[in-house]
């Protein structure tokens, strides 16, 4: 991304934050971890952590828009999360539906393009309706892309991509020797979305948890001990500052 892509207002905000536009990640992905831990540390029900986490989502989306980040991807619900108690899952579905409805005006006002990755199986009819409505209404927006990973698993995504490619080969639409990285990338849920430059994980965990396994091959990893409900603008800016100081060689030499 070059400075020509930023508006004067965005350049001013970047300057105020001490960030170099040329060193800003074009795509930031976030593993939002620690909602339940945050609640437990305060003697609160786990659902309170999820409710507080929504505020961090709002802050992060708004700040990334303000700073001119081109794409933000948030890991909302993994395919493994279905192992949690049904009462918690029911609450998460209701909270997700509420978020989609309440944030729709903000998405349109900020010119955000919404997308969702993951399997639709298991999601409630209400959530699917609100997802489809928000995607359709924001389809022609030209601002930041906001991707929500819901019922998502990286291995599942790769399996689905392989099935898609295999079907094309079976149907005579693709030769085996034509299969390369570009073909696989275009068959993933994230087709058309650039790979993340920066992967942020909260709550101090040092693993990628089956998130964007193909796409984060060359992403810079940044971990904070803060649980997701405590993830604030200064912490986000610290991640961006640390990213700007890193030397990215992509396997080559300086």
- Show which residues are catalytic: 33, 81
Count of C-beta atoms within a 10 Å radius of residue 78: 20
Count of C-beta atoms within a 10 Å radius of residue 190: 23
Closest CA to 38 of 152, 151, 202, 200: 202
| DSSP 3-state of 130 | helix
Give Cα 61 to chain centroid, integer Å. 10
What is the dihedral angle through the alpha carbons of 239, 245, 246, 247, rounded to the nearest 10 degrees?
160
Q: Could you tell me the two tokens for 87?
A: 């009462």
Q: Could you tell me the two tokens for 18?
A: 């001490």
Q: Could you tell me the two tokens for 4?
A: 């020509």
Q: Could you tell me the two tokens for 224?
A: 């904070």
């Amino acid at each position: 991304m070059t400075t020509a892509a930023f508006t004067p207002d965005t350049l001013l905000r970047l300057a105020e934050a001490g960030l170099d536009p040329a060193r800003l990640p074009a795509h930031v992905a976030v593993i939002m971890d620690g909602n339940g831990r945050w609640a437990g540390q305060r003697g609160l029900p786990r659902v309170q952590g999820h409710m507080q986490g929504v505020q961090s989502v709002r802050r992060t989306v708004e700040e990334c828009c303000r700073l001119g980040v081109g794409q933000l991807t948030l890991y909302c619900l993994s395919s493994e999360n279905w192992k949690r108690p049904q009462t918690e899952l029911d609450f998460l579905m209701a909270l997700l539906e509420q978020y989609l409805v309440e944030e729709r005006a903000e998405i349109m006002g900020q010119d955000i393009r919404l997308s969702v990755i993951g399997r639709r199986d298991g999601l409630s009819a209400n959530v699917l309706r609100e997802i489809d409505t928000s995607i359709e209404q924001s389809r022609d927006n030209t601002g930041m892309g906001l991707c929500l990973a819901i019922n998502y698993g990286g291995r599942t995504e790769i399996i689905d991509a392989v099935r898609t490619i295999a079907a094309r080969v079976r149907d005579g639409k693709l030769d085996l020797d034509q299969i390369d990285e570009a073909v696989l990338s275009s068959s993933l849920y994230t087709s058309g979305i650039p790979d993340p430059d920066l992967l942020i994980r909260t709550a101090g965990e040092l693993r990628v948890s089956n998130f964007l396994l193909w796409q984060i091959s060359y992403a810079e990893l940044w971990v904070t001990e803060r649980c997701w409900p405590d993830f604030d603008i200064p912490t986000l800016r610290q991640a961006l500052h640390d990213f700007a100081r890193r030397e990215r060689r992509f396997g080559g030499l300086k």
